[in-house]
A and B are shown apart, each in its own frame.
Chain A
Amino acid sequence: MNSSVNHPATVETGRLLSPPGFDVEAIRRDFPILHQQINGYPLAYLDSAASTQRPIQVIDAISRYYTHDHANVHRGVHTLSHRATDIYEGARESVRSFINARSTREIVFTRGTTEAINLVAATLGQRLTAGDEILISAMEHHSNIVPWQMLCERKGTILRVAPINDQGELLFDEFEKLLGKRTRLVAITHVSNALGSVNPVREIIASAHAHGIPVLIDGAQAIAHQSVDVQALDCDFYAFSSHKMCGPTGIGALYGREALLETLPPYQGGGDMILTVSFSGTTYNELPYRLEAGTPHIAGAAGLGAAVDYLRQVGMDNIASHEAELLTYASNALSALPGLQLVGTAAHKAGVVSFNVDGIHPHDVGTVLDQHGVAIRAGHHCAMPVMERFGIPGTARASFAFYNTRAEIDQMIDALRLAIRMFA
């Protein structure tokens, strides 16, 4: 597979250690951006939940595509167009196999998670009527709230919100009680970007299916951090973004169960999504093209394909266990600091730690850390209802990827100690 024309980026990845070996220093050498000084300190990039960084293999795949292979897809008779189409469709196959979908017809490329969710709201939403209900949770990112609120405005549907407890865990009993006769879709996050909570998505899906209700999983924060098998999950939709899985921005995917995708009306109209157009009528293309109007982000797909290949070489289980170790290490170190509270202490968490420090606003924490080379996020993390639930304006958030080290967490802790002294 490494020598395939479709996946040129994987050619150089042979030097990565294969499972069970996991060499974080070797991995870091693949990420050029990590090797720089920020404000006089080595960069400690602890903001991968906002966007991950890219390995050289992904950067090379994109540049190789533009240097050698670019043309429009699906329409040319010439060689470059065939190459571009092979790269684009090869990426679709990589994504399919990465999440174990049955068919590439089930992989719709979008601009990212946000567009994937909007696609479902616009198409599946089209056949909903006033009084129909969408069930989400209290820990959703704005992109899994606002498209449904907009649908409610258009259609008179009702948005139900399953509550969470003080640890940031979904109240499963309350969730089940909200599954009703009028529930038409459950849309819920796999992992909370603000709290790190991992939802019991298998149980959620099984429970919704027992009522005949389809389930959309927002996989933005899960896809690069654990292995995802859409058949094992039995979800109906799974949405994710390339830029949170070491791929380029501007592309992502919606997995949809084929039988369900077949029933959806077209999303946007234009080229590529049609078979024939005449003024007496237009016939639509087959899946997944019917849902992908216009010239797609081909270079993005080239990069995403390379990112998927890279993640697989590192190994999703290696990634999950390395990040779990970082999470434990960071949670313990943070908890030991005076006046520090973790926000989100679910029993089952991914590599995200949100926290507040007594008397220091998250924004000030962010600035002090940045001055020490540590990149974290401060604010509401596009989850304002979560902040409201905890009665806080925001949090500081460190988030981890497989290229992070304990040394970077130590650097954050040292800078936090200084912040605490400074603001005391």
Chain B
Amino acid sequence: MSGSATSLTDLYRQTVLSHSRHPHNRRRPQVYDLEAEGHNALCGDKIHVYLRLQDDVLADVAYEASGCAISLASASMMSDAVTGKTVEATRQSIDDFLTGLSSPQTGKLEGELAALGGVRDYPSRIRCATLPWQALCAALDAVQETVTTE
């Protein structure tokens, strides 16, 4: 078929579709230490991220979300990618992901996240992929505030 069909399967790769059909860690946990909400007013995507910390490590990363396949897949892969990481390493992952999406030259998408690379060709969809990560970042910023006020 035409080029467009190829590029569609590049956007909606099997990994993306399977995460979006069955997102991992999509739940509201009983206990959590940090939370933040992300909202994309343009398309109505919403995510609420919940983090549980053990010392300096993200022991549990969960979220409630409603959104398109791209944002759900991104949230699902994100939760897999950063669970068990330290706050500092998580910040690095967020940074890597955001630059990886905006500039293929300087950035690289780690592991499964590479499946989201097709988004680069769809400028209007990049925000769908970045929303969960921005919410994660906002949740971590909440910890810093608590840290600095203590």
Give me the interface of A with B, judged by CB distance under 8 Å: 39-41, 359-364, 367-368, 371-372, 378-380, 387, 393-394, 422-423
Contact = CB atoms under 8 A, between A and B. Distances in A.
Nearest to B8: A371
B2 A41 contact: yes
Nearest to B44: A393
A49 B11 CA distance: 28
A389 to B, nearest CB: 14
Dominant secondary structure at the A interface:
mixed
Given A367-B11, A393-B66, A39 B122 contact: no
Contact of B44 (A39, A371, A379, A423): A379
B12 A41 contact: no
Interface in B8-47: 8, 11-12, 17, 21, 42-46
Given A394-B44, A423-B17, A367 B4 contact: no
Given A361-B69, A368-B8, A39 B3 contact: yes
Interface in B85-113: none
B69 A39 contact: no
B14 to A, nearest CB: 11
Contacts of A363: 43, 45, 67-68, 70, 125, 128
B22 to A, nearest CB: 12
B5 interface: yes
Given A362-B43, A363-B45, A367-B122, 10 more contacts: A39-B7, A40-B3, A41-B4, A363-B67, A363-B125, A364-B69, A371-B8, A379-B42, A422-B8, A423-B17
Nearest to A394: B44
17 contacts: A39-B2, A39-B4, A40-B3, A359-B21, A363-B45, A363-B67, A363-B70, A363-B128, A364-B12, A364-B68, A367-B8, A367-B124, A379-B44, A380-B44, A394-B44, A422-B8, A423-B69
A364 B44 contact: no
Contacts of A423: 12, 17, 21, 69
A39 B8 CA distance: 11
Contacts of A362: 43, 68
Contacts of B7: 39, 371
Contacts of B122: 367
Nearest to A422: B12
Nearest to B124: A367
Contact of A371 (B4, B46, B68, B69): B4
Contacts of A368: 8
A160 B11 CA distance: 45
Contacts of A379: 42-44
Contacts of A40: 2-4
Interface string B38-60: 00001111100000000000000
Contacts of A380: 44
